[in-house]
Structure 1
Amino acid sequence: MVAGVDHTYELEGVDDFGEKAVENRAVDVSFVIDQLTGPHAKWKGASLIDVSRIAMAGTSFGGASAAETMLKDPEVRAGINMDGLMFAPIPASGVARPFLFLGRPLHSPGGTDATWDRDWEHLTGWKRRLVVAGAVHPSFSDYDLLAQQIGVDLGSELAGSRSVDITRRYVRAFFDLHLGGRPQPLLDGPSARYPEVGFCSPETKTCT
């Protein structure tokens, strides 16, 4: 089951908007989880949800909110940040659950920045940092694909549905591994099927 959350009452004009938005979104997600699970769930299909296998993935602010949600809510067992700046730093106490960074290369315009480097060492569980050559910020949602279909050039070098194919495949592999317990060789190293995807090591400052 997939739940999409539309966050309300966000105003970019406030001071420290990024950090406040991430903190608020974490509260929103926990609220949604509580509404969908438990003995008084608001959804008739609540019995279908395995509360021991809940994870969060998001792009941009949604991705940045994944780590914050994991810090605040132990029910969220794994998280993915797709091309989102880490507005709220991960504290030194860290996050010991699985986490995936998936974004643009460092050298691309607006590409993943020092906030990922800063927080990398505070991810103490399973972790990967993957970059997609030719991607732009909208490449990790369907925005890039739809823009190309109507003739709008966002600067992406991933033609057609390629950006969506890559995002779906790696997100699915992450969840299959950490929620389903199924081995995923795709997450162990570079793939000939997805040569655009590089595995990065912040310690050595290399991506292969």
Structure 2
Amino acid sequence: MRKVILLALVLLVLGGGTVPAHASTLELPEPTGRHRVGVTELHLVQHGRSDPWFPDETRELMVSVWYPAFPVGRRASYVPPALAKYYEIEPPVGIRTDWGAIRANAFVNAPSLPGKFPVVLYSPGVGNSRTMGTILAEELASRGYAVVTVDHTYEAAVEFPGGKVRTDKVFDLPIEDPAEIEKAKQRLMDAREHDVRFVLDKLSGLKMLDLSRVGMVGHSGGGVTAARVMQVDRRVDAGINMDGWFSFGYNRPELGVDRPFMFMGAGSSPQQPPLYGKPRTHLSEPDWRTFWDASTGWLLDLNFPAGRHYTFTDAQWLLPKLGGDHTGLIGTVDPAGAIDAQRAYIAAFFDEHLRKRPQPLLAGPSPRYPDVSFIR
């Protein structure tokens, strides 16, 4: 596979090779909230919008909705069957294992609990599947949120109804001229913004959702997507950028936002553009500082000094259990501690800003989460 555009990013995603591992008994960590979780998939077709990469096609997306539910039926597979089969050829984050054997905690198409739930949108990093945000989605759903995880078609392999897998064809496009590569990056980020706004449009038919309270969180390019969507769509009330850099295309950091926003950054890494050796904070990265200074809403910057870029994905849980982090994607942070801290701070952020419940955890460092630094 010739991934000629976004080459540095792809090398980061794939690391330095593959790691043989086994997943027959691996399960995701149980959510800590009081509710059990259900999950359902939606196939969304945006009639009238051409696909940004293949204009002869209509833009189609797959999303998952995670929600408080009655524990009825079977537990969901972490990776759907056809996609798991594809991963035998193209393993995510360089890990070869039986992806189809891993189980999530959610129950497939389980009936939702009564009531309407605040909504949190999740966008994965560029080149990543929405699957990589499953641990966070289940956690927030167990705490009373409806979480909508979005795949951006042709960036990563996506399974559609009928077992059809659409692969990451964007990285196969024969684009080599530097100016055209920059245009492709811009098209990719523009497409993500349009994808999320379309998903929001389509959610109005789900009675369990309280669309008067909407947040968004994303990893890497997904975090930048959260900022972009908030700038143009007032339906999103609060957002989180987990280690995403604005310099991937033009992403308007100088506009900031006027609603609550939280940064979550990783420690230093020689692989991380544009810092190359510095932690990602609003004090060290110029674009984060530009966004921070331009924003007029509530702001918080948290850093995981011993973490790395993929600390903010399910890789933080999976890699140590599937042979170890041989690629430097998650750093030396304690896996369980990092997962616990992310779940706690992200839930506290949305509890405070979507539910209007004050959260002392957000006021300063906590001895319960020593892996997290507050950046002032």
TM-score by length of 1: 0.85
Q: Is the 8 A contact 2:351 2:357 kept in 1?
A: yes
Q: Report whether the alignment pairs 1:72 with 2:194.
A: no
Q: Is the 8 A contact 1:81 1:100 kept in 2?
A: yes
Question: Which residue does the alignment assign to 1:204?
Answer: none
Question: Which residue does the alignment assign to 1:135?
Answer: 307
Which of 62, 66, 85 does residue 245 from structure 2 map onto?
85
Moved more, 9-18 or 80-89: 9-18
Q: Is the 8 A contact 2:239 2:262 kept in 1?
A: yes
- The alignment partner of 1:161 has SS state of helix
Which of 117, 121, 141 does residue 289 from structure 2 map onto?
117
What is the alpha-carbon distance in structure 1 between the residues aligned to residue 213 and residue 245 of structure 2?
26
Question: Which residue does the alignment assign to 1:193?
Answer: 368
1:174 is displaced (CA, Å) by: 0.5
Question: Which residue does the alignment assign to 2:150?
Answer: 5
What is the alpha-carbon distance in structure 1 between the residues aligned to residue 322 and residue 192 of structure 2?
31
Between structures 1 and 2, the one with greater strand share = 2
What is the alpha-carbon distance in structure 1 between the residues aligned to residue 186 and residue 370 of structure 2?
34
TM-score by length of 2: 0.49
1:1-208 → structure 2 map (5 Å cutoff): 1-10=146-155, 11-12=170-171, 13=175, 15-16=181-182, 17-37=184-204, 41=205, 46-87=206-247, 88-92=251-255, 94-105=256-267, 107-109=268-270, 110=272, 111-112=279-280, 113-153=285-325, 154-155=327-328, 156-201=331-376
1:152 is displaced (CA, Å) by: 2.5
Structure 1: unaligned runs, 5 residues or longer = 202-208
Aligned length: 192
What is the alpha-carbon distance in structure 2 between the residues aligned to residue 131 and residue 20 of structure 1?
30
Q: Which has the larger radius of gyration?
A: 2
What is the alpha-carbon distance in structure 1 between the residues aligned to residue 230 and residue 311 of structure 2?
24
Which residue identity lines up with residue 32 of structure 1 in the other structure?
A: V
1:108 is displaced (CA, Å) by: 4.0
- The alignment partner of 1:97 has SS state of coil
Q: Is the 8 A contact 1:83 1:137 kept in 2?
A: yes
1:15 is displaced (CA, Å) by: 2.5
1:24 is displaced (CA, Å) by: 1.5
What is the alpha-carbon distance in structure 2 between the residues aligned to residue 90 and residue 199 of structure 1?
21
Q: CA RMSD in A?
A: 1.7
Aligned-pair identity in percent equals: 41
1:18 is displaced (CA, Å) by: 3.8
Moved more, 124-133 or 154-163: 154-163
Q: Is the 8 A contact 1:26 1:72 kept in 2?
A: no
Which residue identity lines up with residue 161 of structure 1 in the other structure?
A: A
What is the alpha-carbon distance in structure 2 between the residues aligned to residue 15 and residue 122 of structure 1?
28
What is the alpha-carbon distance in structure 1 between the residues aligned to residue 200 and residue 263 of structure 2?
23
